[in-house]
């Protein structure tokens, strides 16, 4: 029984991307269509019923009646699944993308090609989340990489081009790595559907071809998630974008991290070497991301490194491989995407007014923009895992999962890493809002007002309410994520 609305989550943003590209240049049309399209994109996952969708071919049959050919009982179709986990991830992606689109529509000029690239990235990441076919996931990962590079190119500045160049070069390497891994699995087992691969792979863990495929898929996972050694490239990507779309980029990265980790755990679940590599590299990202955040001289780069560090924390939790670890990791990715978006959007307002985010040119803005400062401090407390905000619930569960998996030292490092993120973000807040900067000359003085545009204010208020809501009542949310994690780790 095909659920018909599932492909619409990918197809509608793709069509919108084409339409917005055609409408480029007509400001009003772009603004209206962009806003309308985003409302539809939020509505579709809310209305879709849980189920699977099979593209083309036929579902499992055993004997074709006309020719009498014995067809093995596998799905010869590309399968998309839609359950609670996919709904949550797609809705969060859609909501944060809506904020980015609304904020851009409120600016002086609305660019159709910019919004079309945002739509393309939404389509690609939705497909990555839903695809139960490993090659389809790879195709949409490449599309996501190209669209993300295109988003930051529209900034038009040289450092954006340089960041996009590095991102696409290593995106090509990582993409080819995933493809070769998929080719090795296809050659060994003959199927591409993830459920079928999982069934076919029982007892094959000592096959050197399978081990090579695991290594190559891990390299691809590291790039797509922005973990070591690709953490500097991803943080360069976030800091080269305008901060409102930087929020969308970091959300997409965390969602893709979760999606690929789930595929890796489903396929290669109990393999200890893979868990060790995932844990080790995520740990390095967590700590080095935080350390790099501390020594930055620019607020956007500081927040970009903090986002990378939190992605390391999510990767660490997924790398634990236990049910507690996987559910805590998914929960933290969702919470952190929301809280980091709050900080990114406040930095967007700062960048929009002051035209710079360097600490040497900022200072003492608390008296001029108290509302902005208040919202930013809420975001910083939310990201750092302070109750009653949402990240407290997920970080507490990650530390609990680390201790109960037999890695107490990892729990200690997680606590230290969280403190590091908090210190780095507070340093940024202090240097921007609290400390009077005596080295600013008269010509560099910034004119900052307390007025925040309506669309941005709406986005910020919604994010604050959601962060506090999940922080105070995590159960309705977390319990169902925990059920989904049980199915993943249990091998479905």
Partner 1 sequence: MDKLYDFLSEKLKSLGPVHVGSGISAEYMLLAFFPLAFVALVRGLENVTVSVLAILVTAMVAFSAPLVLKVARENSDHYNVASFYIAIAMGLILMIMIGGLY
Partner 2 sequence: MSGDAVQLWSFVTAGLLVVIGLYAIIFMDNMIKKIVGAMLIGDGANLILITEGFKPGSIVPIISEKLFNEGTNGLFQSFADQASNSLPYALVLTNIVIGASTLAVLLGIAIKLYQRYNSLSVNEIFKEESQ
**Residues in touch with partner 1 (CB under 8 A):** 163, 166, 170, 173, 177, 208, 211-212, 214-216, 218-219, 222, 228-233, 235-236, 272-274, 276-277, 280-281, 283, 287-288, 290-292, 294-295, 297, 359-360, 407, 409-410, 412-413, 416, 420, 423-424, 427, 431, 435
Q: Which residues pair with 80 in a beta bridge?
A: 53, 131
The helix (H) or strand (E) run that includes residue 404 is helix 390-404
Binding at 69: pick from partner 2, partner 1, none (beta carbon under 5-8 Å per type): partner 2
397, two tokens: 């569960």
Q: Is there binding between residue 150 and partner 2 (CB under 8 A)?
A: yes
Query: How far lies 113's CA from each of 19, 154, 162, 180, in Å?
Result: 10, 8, 20, 33
Cβ of 153: how many Cβ atoms within 10 Å?
20
Closer residue to partner 2 (CB): 116 or 482: 116
Closer residue to partner 1 (CB): 195 or 418: 418
Binding at 376: pick from partner 2, partner 1, none (beta carbon under 5-8 Å per type): none
Give the E-state strand segments of 98-200 in sequence order.
Answer: none
354, two tokens: 């002051």
251, two tokens: 């959300």
The residue from 168, 200, 377, 415 that contacts partner 2 (CB under 8 A) is 168
The residue from 25, 72, 106, 172 that contacts partner 2 (CB under 8 A) is 172
Secondary structure (DSSP) of 432-479: IIIS--TT--GGG-----S---HHHHHHHHHHHHHHHHHHH--HHHHH
Closer residue to partner 1 (CB): 217 or 463: 217
The residue from 1, 57, 69, 202 that contacts partner 2 (CB under 8 A) is 69
Binding at 208: pick from partner 2, partner 1, none (beta carbon under 5-8 Å per type): partner 1
Give residues 120-149 in contact with partner 2 (rule: CB under 8 A). 135, 139, 142-143, 145-146, 149
Give the E-state strand segments of 166-293 in sequence order.
Answer: none
For the chain, how many helices (H) and strands (E)? 18, 2
Q: Is there binding between residue 72 and partner 2 (CB under 8 A)?
A: no
Cβ of 170: how many Cβ atoms within 10 Å?
16
- Residue 440 C-beta: closest distance to partner 2, Å: 22
The residue from 91, 155, 176, 205 that contacts partner 2 (CB under 8 A) is 176
Q: How far apart are CA 344 and CA 360, in angstroms?
A: 20
Q: Are 154 and 139 in contact (CB under 8 A)?
A: no
Closer residue to partner 2 (CB): 165 or 473: 165
Q: Are 351 and 372 in contact (CB under 8 A)?
A: no
- Residue 161 C-beta: closest distance to partner 2, Å: 5
Residues lying near partner 2 in the complex (CB under 8 A) are found at 67-70, 135, 139, 142-143, 145-146, 149-150, 153, 158, 161-162, 164-165, 168-169, 171-173, 175-176, 179-180, 182-183, 186-187, 190, 192
């Amino acid at each position: 029984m095909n659920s018909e609305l599932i492909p619409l989550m990918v197809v509608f943003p793709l069509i919108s991307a084409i339409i917005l590209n055609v409408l480029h240049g007509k400001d009003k049309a772009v603004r209206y269509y962009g806003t309308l399209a985003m409302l539809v994109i939020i509505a579709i996952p809310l209305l879709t019923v849980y189920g699977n969708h099979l593209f083309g071919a036929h579902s499992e049959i055993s004997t074709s009646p006309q020719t009498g050919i014995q067809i093995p009982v596998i799905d010869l179709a590309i399968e998309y699944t839609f359950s609670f986990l996919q709904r949550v991830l797609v809705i969060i992606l859609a909501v944060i993308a809506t904020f980015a689109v609304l904020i851009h529509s409120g600016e002086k000029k609305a660019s159709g090609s910019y919004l079309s690239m945002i739509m393309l990235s939404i389509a690609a990441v939705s497909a990555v989340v839903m695809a139960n076919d490993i090659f389809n996931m790879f195709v949409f990962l490449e599309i996501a990489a190209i669209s993300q590079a295109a988003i930051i190119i529209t900034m038009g500045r040289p450092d954006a081009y340089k960041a996009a160049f590095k991102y696409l070069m290593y995106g090509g390497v990582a993409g080819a790595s995933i493809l070769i891994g998929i080719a090795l699995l296809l050659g060994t087992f003959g199927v591409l559907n993830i459920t079928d691969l999982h069934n076919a792979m029982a007892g094959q863990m000592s096959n050197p071809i399978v081990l090579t495929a695991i290594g190559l898929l891990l390299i691809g996972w590291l790039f797509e998630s922005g973990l070591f050694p690709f953490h500097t490239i991803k943080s360069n990507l976030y800091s080269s974008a305008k901060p409102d779309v930087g929020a969308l980029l970091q959300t997409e990265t965390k969602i893709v991290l979760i999606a690929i980790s789930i595929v890796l755990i489903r396929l290669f679940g109990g393999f200890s070497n893979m868990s060790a590599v995932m844990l080790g590299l995520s740990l390095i990202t967590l700590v080095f991301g935080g350390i790099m955040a501390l020594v930055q001289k620019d607020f956007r780069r500081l927040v970009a490194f903090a986002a990378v560090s939190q992605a390391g924390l999510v990767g660490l939790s997924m790398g634990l491989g236990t049910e507690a670890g996987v559910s805590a990791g998914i929960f933290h990715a969702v919470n952190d995407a929301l809280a980091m978006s709050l900080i990114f959007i406040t930095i967007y307002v700062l960048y929009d007014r002051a035209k710079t985010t360097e600490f040497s040119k900022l200072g003492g803005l608390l008296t001029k923009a108290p509302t902005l400062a208040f919202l930013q401090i809420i975001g910083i407390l939310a990201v750092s895992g302070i109750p009653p905000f949402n990240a407290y619930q997920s970080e507490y569960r990650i530390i609990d999962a680390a201790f109960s998996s037999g890695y107490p030292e990892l729990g200690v490092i997680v606590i230290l890493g969280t403190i590091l993120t908090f210190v780095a973000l507070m340093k940024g807040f202090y240097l921007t809002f609290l400390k009077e900067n005596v080295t600013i000359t008269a010509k560099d003085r910034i004119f900052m007002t307390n007025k925040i545009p309506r669309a941005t204010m709406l986005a910020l208020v919604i994010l604050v309410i959601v962060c506090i809501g999940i922080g105070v009542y995590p159960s309705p949310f977390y319990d169902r994520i925990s059920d989904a994690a049980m199915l993943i780790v249990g091998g479905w």
